[in-house]
Amino acid sequence: MLPYRFGNSRFIPHNRYKTHLEVTMMTTMMKVMVTMVMVTRMVMSRNVLMMVSDDAGLEMKAYGNTVCKTPHLDELAKRSTVFTRAFTSVSSCSPSRSAILTGLPTHQNGMYGLHQGYHHFNSFDDVRSLPGIVAAAGVRTGLVGKKHVGPDSVYPFDFAHTEETESIMQVGRNITRIRQLVRQFLDTNNTRPFFLYVGFHDPHRCGHTHPEYGQFCEKFGNGEPGMGTIPDWHPVTYDPAQVVVPYFVQDTPAAREDLAAQYTTLSRLDQGVGLMMAELASAGHLNDTLVVYTSDNGIPFPAGRTNLYDPGLVEPLLVSSPQHSASWGNTSTILASHLDLTPTVLEWLQVSYPNYTIINKRQPAVLTGKSLLPYLDHGQPDAGDPKPSLDVSKQELGVWLQDVGIIRSEPAVYASHDLHEVTMYYPMRAIRTPSYKLIHNLNYKMPFPIDQDFYLSPVFQDILNRTRASLPLPWYKTLRNYYYRDEWELYDLHFDPDEKFNVAHKGRYQDVLGELRARLWAWQNQTYDPWLCGPGAVLQDSGSYATHHACLPLYNGL
């Protein structure tokens, strides 16, 4: 403040003179205000980095595979809770990503199949997804890599470099390019919290689109003539004789070579994860960011992707919270689902789920998943499930049916699959508990469909060729029983963890079958599943049935 002048004299306002007490009070107040600002910034600086790989599985040390070298994922696991029983809610790329980003199963959000090309599936226009929900709360959003969902109005990102803006090979597999884009996002001078989603395209197959780079694009960027160079990638190759052949893949030379190629591509993914963590640390956000790593669906091998058997549903899931360091390096055997990720992110960012409707205008959309953060609070080294009193997720939801009553049983996760490619109509629903798996194949009269890239894969061609030539096939199934499935498949996972023996028609399992069917039906009803009545009836839910939906029989023998 400039002094006032009165005549030739200077007049200094009275408030320029401060007593020692006033100065002390002002200093204290300023310190309090600075502290409040710092605390506010600390609260507001909660961020999220979600990394989603493409068709990856449990090929890492944290899940028991010591052959495939993944030092960066192993390091992330050391500062994470490792969920050892995590599952996707649908075994297909676009549908799974839509479920991750909305918290809604595919039949509820509308993404019934793949988004790209002539498949052209999209979520319903009214669906609210994570980027849109958190952006409305002041969170900055970014997406680098594979998006594979639509429309943009449902999945809006402030910062987006995806297959829609440039080559998926560059934004999904070139880890140097991915690092540059992530750095660009993190370097933006913006004090708002952020939600950054990185969609790696590795280790997805590419033999049907870019065969010059190998079955898994394992040669892309490796420095060999014509392959280009990815500066940040140091390729790791594998001897096919040394790979781990999972129980659901035939142990033949062709399958081993296929797995070895997959391992090499996984090394690029792993080094990409390491780069993302390094960028996060360099930007000063390692200690204020919730980091989630998972994959979209099962690996592209027999019984994997597009199937609801465990190889198609089991996913890696690492959740690293800077506020739960006591949980780092711990494992949790609770049943976790991709449908839990939206509630987890919303709780971390302290954002409420909006009240809105989708198709059923009388019933608000509801999340059937629950936040995983409480399981970080109560994580125990080398322990199993948290205390039963903590397991209050949707898996223990009692269901009510007329003449059945309340059913309370084991925790469970649910899965819903309709299509992959547009020609692959094979709707399935499943419920999995620690003890049992029940699959409902609605289109069971038809052979199970095979997608384009898996058909051309060495592992599937090996199955076809051996079957056609009547050669020995060291596989746990035959091609025929892989194609043709029962309407209801029930597996006792304690005695049959590989899901080889369907016990749905065994007399002593009828009570279990009835309970699981009731719980599955209740979940379908809660999530407004259009396939609720199939295949033997048709759902009526409009007109005179608008307030009392009904399954009316078709008398089709099903």
Q: Which residues are catalytic?
A: 93
* Tokens coding 482: 């892989």
DSSP 235-287: -----GGGS---TTS--SHHHHHHHHHHHHHHHHHHHHHHHHHHHHHHTT-TT
Tell me if 72 sits within 8 A of 273, measured CB to CB. Answer: yes
Residues 180, 186, 188, 190: what is their CA dihedral angle, to the nearest 10 degrees? Answer: 170
* Separation between Cα atoms, residue 226 and residue 263, nearest integer Å: 21
* Separation between Cα atoms, residue 33 and residue 397, nearest integer Å: 46
Residues 30, 34, 40, 41: what is their CA dihedral angle, to the nearest 10 degrees? Answer: 160
Tell me if 54 sits within 8 A of 204, measured CB to CB. Answer: yes
* Separation between Cα atoms, residue 438 and residue 429, nearest integer Å: 8
Q: CA-based angle 55:61:64, to the nearest 5?
A: 90
Q: How far is CA 349 from CA 187, 239, 321, in A?
A: 20, 45, 12
What are the φ and ψ backbone dihedral angles of 90, each rounded to 5 degrees?
-165, 140
Amino acid at 197: Y
Residues 141, 187, 230, 262: what is their CA dihedral angle, to the nearest 10 degrees? Answer: -40
What are the φ and ψ backbone dihedral angles of 452, each rounded to 5 degrees?
-65, -50
Strand partners, 551: 539
* Separation between Cα atoms, residue 555 and residue 43, nearest integer Å: 60
Burial 39-61 (b: 16+ CB within 10 A, else e): eeeeebbbbbbbbbbbbbbbbbe
DSSP 8-state symbol, 448:
P
Strands laid side by side in the 159-162 sheet: 159-162, 140-145, 194-199, 47-53, 289-295, 317-320, 81-83, 331-332
Please report where in the chains the tokens 């506020």 appear, as a residue: 323
Cis peptide, bond prior to residue 203, ω within 30 of zero = yes
